[in-house]
Structure 1
Amino acid sequence: MLPASATEFFTHLLGPENVYSDKAHLIAYSYDATRERFEPDMVLFPRHEQDVSDILKYCNEHRIVIVPRGAGSGFTGGALPSSGGIVLAFEKHMNKILEIDMQNMVAIVQPGVVNMELQRAVEEVGLFYPPDPASQEYSTIGGNVNENAGGMRAAKYGITKDYV
């Protein structure tokens, strides 16, 4: 159960368009590919890193469980709020490729970037991002990191942890 001040705090921080506790949003963010269901108490859409930091600080102070969520395509329950709390959903705002550094062969991305979008972007500049989970068309890099996603190329090139 969230403290009474939570809705006001998060609405002030993120704006009402990024704070949801209505039944439709709670149901939409209550499951992943496992088809198990656990409703969160609230769904938040952080806009940038400072929002994430402020949300984490508040939740830590009030002992609120936080579940980060990419596309919810995983089969392990990693995106499920099994103890309630807050789902941090990154697909709305934090979904940009910030930089592809050719000199260091590093991409800096936000957690909501779709795997295939990153693969296409690095290929355009002559690089290669190997992890190719079956969900690559819709799974996000944040979720891939959380789940340590692999794919068909994993035997030859490795899995997500090898590229973080």
Structure 2
Amino acid sequence: MSLPSHLTVTQTLRVPTDEFTLTYARSSGPGGQNVNKVETKAVLRWPVVNSPSLPEGVKERFCQQYRTRINNDGELVMNCDEYRDQPSNREAVLERLRDMLSNVARPPKTRRKTKPTKGSQRRRLAAKKERSEKKQRRRTPGRDA
């Protein structure tokens, strides 16, 4: 089973698979004796910072949100060893990358300024006045300092 030519994230965002390298290593997961013989763990390395296929905005959001997963060389390193066979681990690591990219593909909504409602302002002022009166009642009479 070979890699597709592109990793499709959205209709407009596609990352060519030749941008990242997939290597395989011996897994530490389930598999019995098979785990000691067969390289089933999939390791994906992708130089995100140098990726020509990502728009700048998406690249900045990706690097900001996943900065803990990007090494000093600007390379994203992900691995998957949850399955007992290589193709399943490869698909899982590609699916994780697709999910990460789809999280940052759409720019975040800009916040609209809102005003407090008249009712909330009234309630706030009433509570404030009540606290003030409560503290006034605590004072000893005759000491107007």
**TM-score class normalised by the smaller sequence:** under 0.3
TM-score, scaled relative to structure 2: 0.21
TM-score, scaled relative to structure 1: 0.19
Decide which structure has the larger Cα Rg and report it: 2
Instruction: Considering fraction of residues, name the structure with more helix.
Output: 2
